[in-house]
Every structure is written in C-alpha cells, then in structure tokens.
Amino acid sequence: MKTEYYITLGYVPNLGYGKGKANRQTSTEKLQDQHDCIRLITDQVARLRDQGYFWTSVFGRVVKVHVWIHIVAGDTSGHNECTGKFNSNGNTACPWRDCLCQFGNLSDSIAQCELITLRHVEEAAQSDGGLASLSMHHIDNAFSHTPLSDQTRGIFGITPPETLHVLGGGVLPYIFACITQLIGPNKSKQAEKDAYDSLHQHLVNDVARQSEKDFPRSTVRNGFGDGTKMSSVEAVGNLHIQLCVSYTQSGIDLLRDGWATHRISQKEYRDTIKLILGFERWINEPIPMEDIEPAIALVGVMIDGIKKCFPRLDGNGWDLPKVHGLAKMIYYVCKFGMAKNFSGSQGESALKHIVKNHADQTQRRANVFAEQVALRRYETEVFQYAFEDIRPILGLDYARVVNNDANSFRGEGKFTMEFKACD
C-alpha cells in the first residue's frame, strides 16, 4: 500500500513504562487505560460523523457522506484488546473473540458459530459476572460510540482473522513442530532430525538458485524446527520446502516411521500441504462468488488433514483459537472481499513510515517517545500537504511512468553484436 493512501489517526504510548513487576493493576485496569487512550482518537472519528459530513449526489441520489471505521486489521492479541476479550490460548468460556463457541469447538473443520452481537454484550453486562461468561473484561470500550461498518455486531464484526497471523504466524509454526515430532518424539533421534534440517537447508539453497520470482521466501536462519526467528511470510516458504522434501527419497526415509506410527499416507501428507499453500494464495486474490461455496468444504478438508497428518499431542492439541480463525476466513471474505483487504501486512509495512522513520528525530526517551513521534508525523503530513498544493507552481505536477513495452522503443544507426565463448 502506498503511503499516500493512509493517514495516521494517533499514537498510544507505552502504558507499562516505569511500572514493571511492581505494577499492581489488574488486567482489566490495564486494558481500561489502553481504551481510555484509544478513545481520544475514536472520539474524533465520532465528531467527524456528527459534524464533518457533507451532502452529494451519487447516481442521481442525494446521499450523506461521513467517515466510519470499516475494518480493524491486526493480530489476535490486538483484536482481543480492541474487543475487550480475555487473551488466552483457548482455556476460557468463549475463546474466540467474535462468537460463542466453546473450547471444544475450536478445532471444528466447519465453523458453525453463533456470532456475538451488541445485544449479547448489553444483556451480559446487566448481571454480575455476565461479561466474564463471555470471556470479556468489564470495561468502557473505546469503540462503543464510534461509527463502525457493522452496526449489529459492532467491533466484534470488523476484526477478521487474516493469513499473516492466523496461518503464517500461528498454524504453520505448530505444523513444523509436529513434523519434527514425526521424525522422533521429544529429544529422540537427534541425528535424524539434524539430517532432516540439513536436507531442508539444501533445498532452500537450491530454490534460491532458480529464476522464478513468485516462490514464497523461505529461511534457514535458526533451523527448520525453531519458529522463533521465522517471519510469517517465511513460514509459508518453508512449508513449500516441506512439500519438496516429501518428494525426496531422503525425506521419505526420515518421515516413514512417523507416517507409519500415525497411519498417515504419503498422498494425504502431500495433499494437505498443497491445500494449505493453495488456500494461502487463493484467499488473498479476487475470488468469484461461485467459488465460495465449494471452498467451504475444502477448508474443512484442509483442517481435517492438518489434524490427521500433523498430530499435535501436547498442550491443547489442535483446539487452538487460530485454527478456529482459519475456519472462519471464508465468512469474512464474503463480508470484506479478498483476505488481502484486511491483511495485517499492510500495517506492518506502514509501521516503517509511521514510527521507525520518525524515531531518529526524537530523543528516544520512553516517557516522551510517542508524543515526539506524533509531532514529527504531524509535521511531515503538513509539509507533504503544502508541497502537493504548490507542486503545479514549481512545475513538478507530473508522474514518472515506467514503460517496459518493447514496441515503444526504436533504434537507429549501426549496431555490432559479438558472440564469444564463456569460461
């Protein structure tokens, strides 16, 4: 996304600065402080709705135009904070932020949810412990009086799961840990695991030496099984490498015992990885409406394949909030269009312009950092606005166009071409 397509509404300071372990605030009090800061921003959006609207004509109809928040893109933790939900790994009454599903439903291949509405929250708030039964903090939410695109479900209806954090940063690292366990449980068969890691590194290097540019980026930064230093995009690339590994004789030999123990066929294993890779590419592109209904069943097949081909025996198994989010993505694609529309990668990329580029021009003191970054951002916006206004006067009102059309070039004169043997 180009920087001119968005503006910064505000900055929230580090509310934990100077407190550390001595902080005796409850989690509800901490979240309320955060929403009090966010409300200074959302109240301005509300004022734009009430005072900053204008009337115009669209297709012959007179309409009132005002600003609203259409989507809140971010990771699972950030969405939980926006909605006031408990941050947990599923061990709560309603683990997922936008529905009433319980812990045992998190790994369902087809999500059949009763979605949370503003009415549910209002009724729960009338009784003691009612919000806790929805796994929610009792706070004054900053988005409660803000113009949102979903007037029935409010903030709960505009916080969709997306592939960057749910798949690349969530499900895939668990899959890589399961593949390591297929070779040998816990710390057994270290020699075989080292051989598998070496095979992964060789294939990553082989992929880097080909001319195709649409391969997902992979990494060997910290070993295959360690997902701590692997970005979400690199996780998708590493899954592609695992598909290649499953077609090598060395990879088959190393995985054969695990496949036999858990009764996993090579075809099921490969087909599941192909479904995941295909789903990640497909859902981030424009999707015809006629393809939506068949895709729901395929997503179910994919989740069932994940649970069978990558058995997770520790923790909560595959009863994870991010698996539930994966099953609900089709619903939000129908609501907001392709998943790229609400991808968190846009915000991650914008962070360079919003914070990092201005951080060098601050004192880098935590107690005033957010304030100084905000001032630098404001000054940049003012200068850019003024420059755009005087651009025609300076004779700079043109755009550079890259034209790679070979038919637009014409050569004249004498040319000499020499062919020589290469070393």
61 within domain boundaries: yes
More confident residue, 345 or 119: 119
Spell 248-287 as b/e; 16+ CB within 10 A means b: eeebeebbeebbeeeebeeeebeebbebbbebbebbbeeb
Q: Are residues 142 and 167 in the same domain?
A: no
211 with 293, same domain: the answer is yes
CB 192 within 8 A of CB 184: yes
Count of domains for the chain: 2
**pLDDT of 423 strictly over 60:** no
Which sign, positive or negative, has the C-alpha torsion 73, 75, 76, 81? negative
Alpha-carbon span 234 to 257, nearest angstrom: 28
In a domain, 1, yes or no: no
Q: Are residues 177 and 112 in the same domain?
A: no
Instruction: Quote the pLDDT of residue 406.
Output: 62
Phi-psi region of 315 (alpha: psi -120 to 50; beta: other; left: phi over 0): left
Among residues 175, 166, 167, which one has the least CA distance to residue 78? 166
Can you tell me the distance from the alpha carbon of 215 to that of 211, in angstroms, rounded to the nearest whole number?
Answer: 10
Q: Which of 34, 286, 244 is nearest to 25 (CA)?
A: 34
**Scanning the structure block, which residue is given the tokens 């994870």?**
320
Q: Which residues pair with 136 in a beta bridge?
A: 85
Stretch 374-393: mean pLDDT: 90
Contacts 24+ apart (CB under 8 A), 86-90: 86/27, 86/135, 86/136, 86/137, 88/135, 88/321, 89/315, 89/316, 89/320, 89/321, 90/316, 90/319, 90/320, 90/321
Distance CA 184, CA 186 (A): 7
202 and 303 in a common domain: yes
Asked if residue 132 and residue 267 are part of one domain, the reply reads no
Using CA atoms, how far residue 248 sits from 244, 255, 263, 401, in Å, is 7, 11, 20, 46
Ramachandran region of residue 90, left (φ > 0), alpha (ψ -120 to 50) or beta?
Answer: left
310 and 203 both lie in a single domain: yes
**Reported confidence tier of residue 388, pLDDT bands at 50, 70, 90:** confident
Final residue belonging to a domain, choices 156, 172, 206: 156
Question: In which band, very low, low, confident or very high, does the pLDDT at 326 lie, cut at 50, 70 and 90?
Answer: very high
> Residues with Cβ < 8 Å from 7, sequence gap 6 or more?
381
* Mean of pLDDT values over 259-284: 94
Single out the residue in 289, 308, 342 at which a domain terminates: 342
Among 81-95, 133-147, 323-337, the minimum mean pLDDT is found in 81-95
Q: Indicate whether 269 and 325 sit together in one domain.
A: yes
Residue 297 included in any domain: yes
CA distance 325 to 329: 6
The verdict on 229 and 333 lying in the same domain is yes
pLDDT at 311: 94
**pLDDT value at 226 more than 80:** no
Q: Model's pTM, two decimal places?
A: 0.85
**pLDDT tens, 58-87?**
999 999 888 899 999 988 899 999 999 998
78 shares a domain with 53:
yes
Mean pLDDT rounded to a whole number for the chain: 88
Q: Is 403 among the domain residues?
A: no
Assigned domain for 317 exists: yes
Both 66 and 171 in one domain: the answer is: no
The answer as to whether 46 is a domain residue is yes
Evaluate whether 238 touches 223 at the Cβ level (below 8 Å). Answer: no
- Evaluate whether residue 5 is within a structural domain: no
Please classify residue 175 by burial: count the beta carbons closer than 10 Å to its beta carbon, then call 0-12 exposed, 13-18 middle and 19+ buried: buried
CA 332, 338, 344, 347 torsion-angle sign: negative
pLDDT digits (tens, 9 = 90+) for 204-216: 888 888 777 778 8
Neighbours of 121 (CB within 10 A): 21
Residue 245 token pair: 């590994």
User: Do 143 and 171 lie in a common domain?
Assistant: no
Give the pLDDT band (50/70/90) at residue 4. Answer: low
Q: What is the rounded CA–CA span in Å between residue 81 and residue 406?
A: 53
Examine the pLDDT at 227 and tell me if it is beyond 70.
no
- In this structure, are 197 and 259 located in the same domain? yes
Q: What domain range is 111 assigned to?
A: 25-156
Nearest alpha-carbon partner for 243 in 211, 204, 191: 204
Which among 156, 191, 207 is the end of a domain? 156
> Quick check: is 417 in a domain?
no
